[in-house]
Structure 1
Amino acid sequence: MNNRDINTNKMFFVTGAAGFIGYYLSKRLLDQGCTVIGIDNVNDYYDVKLKHTRLEGLDPYENFTFVKADISDKAVIDELFKEYRPNVVVNLAAQAGVRYSIENPDVYMQSNVIGFYNILEACRHYPVDHLIYASSSSVYGANKKVPFEETDFVDHPVSLYASTKKSNELMAHTYSHLYNIPATGLRFFTVYGPMGRPDMAYFGFTDKYFNDEPIKIFNNGDFENDLYRDFTYIDDIVEGITKLIPRTPSGDVQHEVFNIGNNNPEKLMHFITSLEKALSNALGKEVEFDKVFEPIKPGDVPRTYASTERLHQAVGFKPETPIEEGLQQFANWYVQYYNLAEKKEEMTR
């Protein structure tokens, strides 16, 4: 399967279109000539200006329609499906973040559970060719067996966010079984890149540096047993999704789940030094973070490591962007987006 298999005559319905992955996926589909209906409630979980910047990047496309709406509003979602009759639905709208789910659980239930239920109900009443939805690597919890495989036991989530994502997989399986909805769940592994989410570590560390603040590293300063993460560059995520769109699950239950990760976990400290180097290149000046070490936070998991064998067998693709390359792209964008050129000159004088 390859991107040419996508039928550009089909109507695509992308939720979370103002979000990080939603924006890049919508742009890729639009560039290929597809018609996209983008939905987002543009909430203020993080800088709304960044969400508007993403939407401005989609505005020029004549085949893009944006609807400001919340997927937890059942009547609105039902009306949109009735009006547009989408062929392919990609549900990327969700309340993200592990730590925030401890502080504000209500929004997770509203968006991730009720919102996804509304999408499933709409797909039931207005049948679609394929429903693709975002799950998360967090469903693996504190599993010690690595790399994580889709067949692993995932009934011990360690955060409410992870629980809602596991719930999505169960709900999709049930609706697929009962109503023959072809559905594919995607377990994303730490997605990063330009225009990413400011609540993610690489973005937050960069913000701290420019605000002359120390970064907090939640590993107790234990370098021997350092945390590690499977960081996945945004282009690889979008490539994986677009390759899976034309591949509808078959069988008695038309539901599948895939990891989309880099299959190459990086130790947290290597990730940090790589980010320092990327920012040094972008600024033309050596960058070193002021580091404070603290205990791991509740809900965090010590390691994520994706097996991408199932994805590769299905569509002949696996993410491969090196962390150094991806972080350089992010650093270059960050310096440009926040107009740091003048500050760069001052720092090099």
Structure 2
Amino acid sequence: MPQSYEFTQSSIAATCVNTSSNLITKWNQKDEETETTTCVNTSSNLIVNWNKKNEETKTTTCVNTSSNLRNKKNTKSEINIEKTFNLTIENNDTNNDKENLQKQINSQMEEQVSNEKEYLKFQQVELEKKEKDLLARQEEIKLEKSRLEQEVKILSQQVESLKTDLIRINTIYQSNEKNINKMESKLATFTADQYTDKARFEIKQINQKLEDKKDEIEELEGKLNEVSKSISNLKNKIDELNQLKEDFNNKLYGSKVSTANLRKQMDSLNTDIHSKSKKLSNQLKEQKKIKDKLVEVRKNAKTIQEEKDQIFKKKSEIKELELKELIDTVRTELSKKRKPMLEKLLEEQKKSIEINEINGNSDSEELEYYSK
């Protein structure tokens, strides 16, 4: 009986140890250090209690009878089974609490992750909008930059042209100032008789120049009329040649006979049209030159007439005034009128340049039209 009792006690202890080791294994699988230590402490306490109880049972076995031993063995077994069951229930409750806690933590983490994902998506959408806005702004800046560069180029060209105009105007101003100084120096050496004699001689020369200019104007106008007539004739010929070309093209596409002769005729017509166009362009250039020369001649004639009028006026003044008074008046007038005269001259030069540019543009457009 003692041997069987010891075997039973040892088997129960082994069962308890196995149960505790299983608990330890389960706690290790959950990776919870605090609960693992608690389980280990619980199992060690159980083993100690079992040892104490085994000693007590061993001491009591010597005193009590076998029936008492059996009763005690049964009661202790029931107590141990009840404790093991309670321990298992507590372990299950702890596992349930742990699972609930883990589920709660997982749900919170999932909710946090989903919130972060939504926030990141919102940020991504905002960044994409900003990127589109920045790209559009970049394109606008590029266009603005190219426009400003074009404006800078145009302004630089205008500055260069204005510089050249300023240099040319300065040269004209200096030449006119030299001429005025020469006239002043000549006036200082003249006497009244010399001035009147020279005035008569200059009037004769001016009259002769006016006659020459009139003849030149008539000649240029005749040339201009001839050029205009030749231009109109060339235009008519070009129109006729174009009409013939169209007729030949119609015959070429409508006939089934050999077209070698027609092609030769068309080639000759094309060469003729090309030569006529060149001749027309040359005559247009000549017409422009004649127009410019005619404008210049008329301007010179007007200037000569004005000089003649001024000489007649001065001649009448000389009869009433002495040479000194005349020189003083001329000097004062020149000193007063020098600047406005030069300004007027510059304005006339600018206007003439603009008129020439306009005429040149119109003639070039007409030339391009007829060359086509």
TM-score range, shorter chain: under 0.3
Q: Which has the larger radius of gyration?
A: 2
TM-score normalized by the length of structure 2: 0.18
TM-score normalized by the length of structure 1: 0.19
* Greater strand proportion: 1
